[in-house]
Amino acid sequence: MTPHKITVASTAAIATLFLSACGSSDPFEDASTAPSTPAEANTVIIGTANFPESEIIGQIWAEALRQEGFDVKVASGIGSREVYLSALEEGSVTLIPEYSGNLAQFFGDLPAGADEQTVKDTLTSVLPPSLSTGEFSPAESKDAYRVTRQIAEEFGLATIADLDKLEHITIAAPPEFAERPAGPQGLTATYGIDAAKITVVPISDGGGPLTVQTLVQGAANTANIFTTSPALLSDGSEADLVTLSDPENLIPPQNVVPVLKAGSLPRGALETINKVGAKLTTDSLVHMNLRNVGPERTEPTQIAKEWVHNNT
């Protein structure tokens, strides 16, 4: 297929829709946007990445901690992993929602086909001494390769390996995905796909409506969209997409996990967060994400208050 261009008007409209849901202007802000002052003693400062799910989880933790009498602030939309982990290590935030497999791969090498225990063991060995983690939640949000149903049926695509049936593979994804282990290098190393036929179409909306529209309009033939992200178009309707299976486990387990500045939390705070995490499920993330970016357009703070009220 020959991709066709997205009009400037449609791109702007879609970007506006997504950014209003996120509540920030740029998913990949530079380090200057991170909090610049050290965390206050006895105050929990929760940082979040610049996509809705991270904000929702951060607000859930904040609400649960406040109910237990802790002083909490939320630094929202700090940016990409490189930016918010720097903020965490330098102490301007004390806590960040993270995803286990991606965190392990950021700091070290994760064996191919890693299971949850392997991810835990790897994190223990590669995490800097200045950082520590809480308990893994059963809730999981994984990178995934999605294609339109039309492309899946036309080329017989069911697994990630089947992408090799395409003459060219154009992936709508965040810019840094080009260097991520689950990105082009993983397609080549794990599935033997020729690197020369793979191109990343950089889109900075974390798999949101602009990414979905790029895929549906044909400017890309696959997209990196999280398993918990609703695939919504600019009008709020859901796109008809197929998630390709991953038989070789290119994409490792991605349990939600709190990562924190070691020794920075007040006594009892991590226990509260771990209890909340134990009740969080993948299905609840899907539901809350849809409430936020779908037609309901509920703010993360309200979603968090309702979830905590119903689950604690």
Give the model confidence (pLDDT) of 33-59 as tens digits.
344 444 445 789 999 998 889 999 999
Global confidence as pTM? 0.75
Q: Indicate the length of the chain as a whole number.
A: 312
**Residue 19 scores a pLDDT above 50:** no
Which residues touch 276 (CB under 8 Å, ≥6 apart)? Answer: 60, 61, 64, 308, 311, 312
For residue 7, pLDDT beyond 60: no
Note the pLDDT of residue 24.
Answer: 36
Question: Per mean pLDDT, which range of 14-28, 67-81, 206-220 is the poorest?
Answer: 14-28
* pLDDT the model gives residue 159: 98
**132 with 269: CB under 8 angstroms?**
no
Percent of the residues in the chain that have a pLDDT greater than 90, as a whole number = 73
pLDDT digits (tens, 9 = 90+) for 276-295: 999 999 999 999 999 998 88
Mean per-residue pLDDT, 256-261: 96
Q: Is pLDDT at 5 greater than 80 in this prediction?
A: no
Arithmetic mean of pLDDT, 189-212: 93
Over the chain, what is the mean pLDDT? Answer: 87
Mean per-residue pLDDT, 94-117: 92
pLDDT band at 134 (very low <50, low <70, confident <90, very high): very high
Percent of the chain at pLDDT exceeding 70: 87
Q: Answer yes or no: is pLDDT of 310 > 70.
A: yes
Token pair for 67: 């109910």
In this prediction, residues 230-244 reach a mean pLDDT of: 89
pLDDT of residue 107: 94
pLDDT of residue 41: 53
* Contact indicator for 243, 259 with CB cutoff of 8 Å: no
pLDDT of 90 strictly over 60: yes
pLDDT at 35: 46
Q: What is the pLDDT of residues 138-186, one digit of tens each?
A: 999 999 999 999 999 999 999 999 999 999 999 999 998 999 889 999 9
